[in-house]
Amino acid sequence: MTGALVGKTALVTGSSRGIGRAIAIAAAREGAVVGVHYAGGADAAQETLKAIQAGGGDGFLLQADLSERTGPDRLAATFLEAVEQRTGERKFDLLINNAGYGGRYRIDQVDDEIFDRMIAVNFRAPFFLTRALHPAIRDGGRIVNVSSMGTRAAFPDMSIYAPSKAALETLSIVLAKQLGPRGITVNAVLPGATVTDMNPLDKDPARATAAIQTIALGRLGQTDDIASVVMFLLSQAGGWVTGQRIDASGGQRI
């Protein structure tokens, strides 16, 4: 712990588990007060908060279903209300758009429901959440959007997942230009094959071996690997990096 985020307030969407949980815990460990967002996993979100508190950090829970049209605006309002109660002002510092909806589908397997949900969670939600919250981010703040290395390599069974994340990456570049005059950086982080409960590669030896063979560093990613990259971008040390798509895959399919 370096205390790099002491005095900062953060919102990490989808932080009840996986990469989001690792980011929330790491941010709290560095001193940030963290809004732990979840959609339906209340018990899992509580475990994230307990882990934050066990490490001496501080945080609070926020529930919102980002697949619903009103979800992003409701989350923004609830978050700012909680921040105001704690600090006396509706201002914060760090927005990490991590929540996502996965699933492997070739184009002929994608029906209207899958398409709409994937776009809603992976692009529409961070778009409208950022629209609602960016005026409340303090000058010098940070936005990090969690994407996927699937946007730079051809995976036929990511026919809608990868395009939804590519849209988020393009938004990152656009917002970096718009918010740059305020000293706010906006970047996208692209994880590769990472062990999470949504992607339990470590429990499938054949899939794990196949994935590892495509990774230059010779192992599967862990959630802390991704969180470390995000922590750099959130810190003062990352203040001269903006509008970038940062691969965090261990060199997968390079």
Distance CA 83, CA 33 (A): 9
- The DSSP 8-state label assigned to residue 183 in this structure reads T
Supply the residues annotated as catalytic.
Answer: 161
Q: How far apart are CA 34 and CA 57, in angstroms?
A: 9
d(CA 126, CA 237): 25
Strand intervals (E) in the chain: 9-12, 33-38, 58-63, 92-97, 137-146, 185-191, 245-248
C-alpha to C-alpha distance for 188 and 199, rounded to whole angstroms: 20
Rounded to whole angstroms, how far apart are CA atoms 138 and 145?
18
Contact 55/61 with Cβ under 8 angstroms? no
Long-range contacts of 217-220 (CB under 8 A, 24+ apart): 217/250, 217/251, 218/250, 219/250, 220/193, 220/194, 220/195
